Amino acid sequence: MTDYSRDEVEAAFQHYFMVGPVMEDWIAWSQLFTDDAVYFDHFYGRFRGPAEIQLFLETTMMTGKHCYTALEWYNIEGNRIVWKGLNLADHPDPTQAPFSFPSLQIIQYAGNGKWSSEEDWWMQPEMVKYAKGYWKACQAIDPSFPDQLSRAHWGNIEWARPAAGHTATPSWLGREHEIPTVRRIDDMNFGERV
């Protein structure tokens, strides 16, 4: 196994984070994985290769269109990065804090700007509490708020946020009819359940 320089791994990670979580271009982001990459989400299961990883991300992110991820911290050790994200949904009342739940990711760098694996952990009870609070607030204040794709709280890492005035345009936007609807795990007819 090749050991890549810290500068190369960090530059690749910054690109990975900006393309996926910040710009939400899940098509381009999936291409940052090797052809034999394995993406393992501890709730949804395993997804293999760029095409299946793209399908997983676009189906789940389209269903949770209100959700975006700010980078809390990251640690580089050799070719591996561990990073913590804060999954956010802006409150429809801008004076209120966003709804959130944390996640932890481990990714393995494979060289040439590509990743050979990703492993994600998040706790379902925390996500359910977040989702219920968000939808209750939207129903009380503005039921159409999720369609605004509000992304106002990017955290304290300067490089891990969009430019001022950025409007969210996730890769699934305008392609909803092409992407399977996945509202629960039983709706997935791809990947491998664990």
pLDDT computed for residue 183 by the predictor: 84
Give a yes or no: residue 94 inside a domain: yes
Residue 100 belongs to some domain of the structure = yes
Does the pLDDT at position 1 exceed 80?
A: no
List strands edge to edge, sheet with 45-48. Answer: 45-48, 33-41, 114-121, 99-111, 80-89, 68-77
Which residues are CB-neighbours of 181 under 8 A, at least 6 positions away?
59, 62, 63, 187
Would 189 be classed as within a structural domain?
no
Nearest Cα to Cα of residue 44 among 52, 34, 36: 52
Residue 172 forms part of a structural domain: yes
Rounded CA gap, 65 and 76, in Å? 30
Tens of pLDDT, residue by residue over 6-37, are 999 999 999 999 999 999 999 999 999 999 99
Within a domain: residue 192? no
Q: How confident is the model at residue 182 (pLDDT cuts 50, 70, 90)?
A: confident
Indicate the pLDDT class of residue 2, thresholds 50, 70 and 90.
confident
Note the pLDDT of residue 3: 92
Beta strands (DSSP E) in 15-173 are: 33-41, 45-48, 68-77, 80-89, 99-111, 114-121
**Pairing of β 80-89 and β 99-111:** antiparallel
Q: Rounded distance, CA 62 to CA 112, Å?
A: 29
Q: Give the closest residue to 119 by CA, choosing from 68, 183, 194.
A: 194
Flag whether 186 is in a domain.
no
Provide the terminal-to-terminal Cα distance of the chain, rounded to the nearest Å.
28
State the average pLDDT over residues 171-180: 94
Residue 44 is predicted with a pLDDT of: 94
Gap between the Cα atoms of 18 and 112, Å rounded? 17
- Identify the domain containing residue 24 by its residue range: 6-180
pTM: 0.95
pLDDT digits over 48-86, tens only?
999 999 999 999 999 999 999 999 999 999 999 999 999
CATH number at residue 27: 3.10.450.50
- Summarize the confidence of residues 123-139 as an average pLDDT: 97
Rounded Cα gap, residues 133 and 125, in angstroms: 12
Looking at residue 89, its pLDDT comes to: 98
Instruction: Read off the tokens for 1.
Output: 């196994």
185 in any annotated domain: no
Residue 167 is predicted with a pLDDT of 95
The model's confidence at residue 136, banded by pLDDT at 50, 70 and 90, is very high
pLDDT category of residue 126 using cuts at 50, 70 and 90: very high
Q: What distance in Å separates the CA atoms of residue 18 and residue 22, rounded to the nearest whole number? A: 5
The total domain count for the chain is 1
Percent of the chain with pLDDT strictly greater than 90: 94
